[in-house]
Amino acid sequence: MQYKHIILIGMPASGKSSVGAQLAAKLGKPLYDNDLLLEEKHAQSISSIFKELGEDKFRAYESEMLKEVLGREAGVISLGGGSVIDQENRDVIKNNNLVVYLQAQIATLIKNLADSDERPLLAGQADKEDLLKSLLQQRDDLYRECCSIIVDVDGLSLQEITEEIISRIANENST
């Protein structure tokens, strides 16, 4: 399969940012963490963008950043969990990129959520499990629609997830 970027998608706390960093380092490719880049570009944290400008504005920033990043030198892109909600985003993500869905059970997401206050959608939610379930229900089909491969991350270390992705990519390259 011919592709430009490797793009990591999946639920919040599925490990996209950490895996992306390790994957990029191992492959010797640039890392583009879309959320971090948009925070830098607008000199504002995501929490503060949500609070002061609202989710719609955040989504607009997110889509704009994604399109900018897709135009850069081939690398590893990690995306915020909600990037797939927008149809146009899904179209550009799929186009000529290898998209990896980091699939995780709710229990894994909860375990990974060390500090959920950094995630405005989850901050202050009494029942994070219920919210994550409903987000997963809304998004699972969208992640599947976009992805080239699915990697189950449950019970795997960061290192193991990265190695699994590298071996799956090698398979893709040989087909």
Instruction: State in angstroms the smallest separation of the CB of 143 from ligand S3P.
Output: 11
90 binds ligand S3P (CB under 6 A): no
Query: Strand, helix or coil at 151?
Result: strand
**Quick one: 118 or 173, whose CB is closer to ligand S3P?**
118
Instruction: State in angstroms the smallest separation of the CB of 16 from ligand S3P.
Output: 6
Pick from 5, 6, 7, 12: which binds ligand S3P (CB under 6 A)? 12
Burial code (b: 16+ CB inside 10 Å, e: under 16) for 112-133 equals: bbeebeebbbbeeeeebeeebe
Mask for 34-73, x = binds ligand S3P (CB under 6 A): -x----------x---------------------------
**Ranges of H-type helices in the chain:** 16-27, 34-42, 46-53, 55-70, 87-94, 106-112, 128-146, 158-173
Mask for 145-164, x = binds ligand S3P (CB under 6 A): --------------------
